Structure 1
Amino acid sequence: MGRHGPPAPDPDWERLDHRGPLSTRWAWGWLSPDGGVVVSDGGDVYVRVDREDLTEAGRGSLNLGVTGGLASALRRALRWSEIVGELYDEPEDEPEDEPEDEPRDLFLLPPSRRE
C-alpha cells in the first residue's frame, strides 16, 4: 500500500495513524524514534516534556531545559514543518476586491391594457 501525505522528517520516523471501524485508517503524523517529538501532516509539532526539565522563572512563567538529542529532533521537526507548509499548504483564497452586487435602478413599465 502506498504512502500518502508528506514524507517523514527522517527515514527512521514512524507513521502515526488512527484506526476506525472496519479497519479503515487515517494517517495523521510522524513519531520520532525515541517518542519525544510528534509532527502532524498539517505541520504541528508536539514535544514530550518531563517535569524535571521545567524550572519556574517567576511570575508564572516556566523555562524548559532542552537536551541535545531533543534539541536536534525539535530543530529537524520545525524545519520539516516549515518545508511542508511551503509545499502542501495552499494560501487561503481571499476574495479579490470585486464590486458587490450594487442595486440597480430599474424602471418597470406597467403592461399595456387591452381595451
Structure 2
Amino acid sequence: MSEIEDRLNAEIEFVAAAEEELAADAQALAAAEEGLLIEAEMVAAAEDALALDAADPQVSDAALLEEALAVGAMEEQLIEDALLVAAAEDALADEIVRSARADAADA
C-alpha cells in the first residue's frame, strides 16, 4: 500500500470508531430516557397513593406529611434526572453536529 492509502485507511478507521462511539452514546441516552420514564411512572404511582391516603380519614396528618415529603423528594430527583438526560442529549447533539461539520470539511 502506498502512504496515501495508509493515511486514508487510518482516517476511515478513525471515522468508523467515532461513529460507533456516537451510536453507543445514543443507545446509552435511549436507556437513560427509558429509565426516566420508569421513574416518572413510579412518581405518578406515589402521587396516586398519596391522594388515596389523603382521602382516608384513618391516615394521620403526620403520616400524610411524611408521605408528601417523600413524594416531593421523588419529584425533585425526577427533575434532576431529567435535567441530566437533557444535558446528555445536548452534548450528543453537539457532537453529532461537530462530526457532520468535520465530515463536510473533509469532503
> TM-score normalized by structure 1?
0.30
> TM-score normalized by structure 2?
0.32
Q: Which has the higher helix share?
A: 2
Bigger relative contact order, structure 1 or 2 (CA pairs below 8 A, ≥6 apart)? 2
Q: Which has the higher strand share?
A: 1
